[in-house]
Amino acid sequence: MKLFYILSFLCLSASAAWAQTPVASTPAYTELSQRAVACIESDSLKQAETYLLEALRLEPKNPHNALLFSNLGLVQRRMGRYNDAIDSYSFALNIAPLAVPILLDRGAIYLEKGMTDQAYVDYCQVLDKDKVNAEALLMRAYIYTLRRDYKAARMDYNRLLELDSQSYSGRLGLATIEQKEGKFREALDLLNRLLNEKPDDATLYVARAGVEQEMGHADLAMVDLEEALRLQPTSVEAYLMRGELYLAQKKKSQARQDFEKAISLGVPPADLREQLQQCK
């Protein structure tokens, strides 16, 4: 969650149940809340968590606890405690069920954990309240793509492009849908236009290489992957794709080097066990 939301959350829609009736918080509650925000700003996350929990214990029925639980979720997420963060965001949503920023934050964690069904529900709730929310449209389109519901994904990407015809994410997502549906020329057209605007974007070269690979143009794909790695030497996707191309060409030594590089960049070795076996 952006710090903007931390500081201005109380100014959200008056339709939220917790914001309808003004509540006078005790000075101690207010001070603890303010200390927590200061700690978040200075990245003192453990201390921020302590202050937030103290404030929640002090006034467990204060409707403004939606803000505190939301901040607690932010802190726990930044500490890598995703399950705790989900619980905190859920407590916040029990108080403010229509709070769009909290739904977006919880949806993002669900996606990080691979809980796409739960994320989908949160993004749908956001769009029920805010039909032009770009983040929710983008993430829901991504989930539809994972589900291979390309028609629904295309609708969300098109809606995103209606809101902003130059949306990078919208156009890249639409190119992905074209590729998934076997419309390679359409995908290349979209990617070429993006590359004309962003010639130093390694992600776009990897995306175009993927289309070229599916079209059987391994030589073109290899050129794009080389350029992607020149621009971004830590591109895991580029190493994986180039490794697959080398393997298809029986260049086992080069393939192994790329797969091992991908592992050094964070890919679990178990995910590449089969590829490495083929490199022997």
* pLDDT for the residue numbered 25: 73
Question: Rounded to an integer, what distance in angstroms lies between the CA atom of residue 275 and that of residue 280?
Answer: 9
What's the pLDDT tens digit per position in 80-89?
999 999 999 9
Do 173 and 235 fall into the same domain?
A: no
Token pair of 251, please?
Answer: 């260049």
Helix axes 82-95, 100-112, angle to 10 degrees: 160
Is the CB of residue 134 less than 8 Å from the CB of residue 99? no
Domain count, the chain: 3
Domain final residue pick, 155, 179, 199: 199
Query: Residue 26's pLDDT is what?
Result: 87
Copy the structure tokens of residue 20: 């309808």
| Alpha carbon distance 74, 12 (integer Å) | 18
Q: Please check whether residues 231 and 280 belong to one and the same domain.
A: yes
Residues in the chain predicted with pLDDT less than 50, given as ranges, are: 1-22
The per-residue pLDDT for 4 is: 34
Q: Are residues 183 and 167 in the same domain?
A: yes
Q: Do 159 and 68 lie in a common domain?
A: no
116 in any annotated domain: no
Residue span of the structural domain in which 267 resides = 201-280
DSSP 8-state assignment for residue 200: T
Give yes or no for a contact between 55 and 33, defined as CB atoms under 8 angstroms apart. Answer: yes
Query: For position 3, what pLDDT does the model report?
Result: 39
pTM score: 0.83
CA distance 126 to 138: 12
Residue 90 within a domain: yes
In a domain, 119, yes or no: no
pLDDT digits (tens, 9 = 90+) for 218-275: 999 999 999 999 999 999 999 999 999 999 999 999 999 999 999 999 999 999 999 9
* Predicted pLDDT at 15: 31
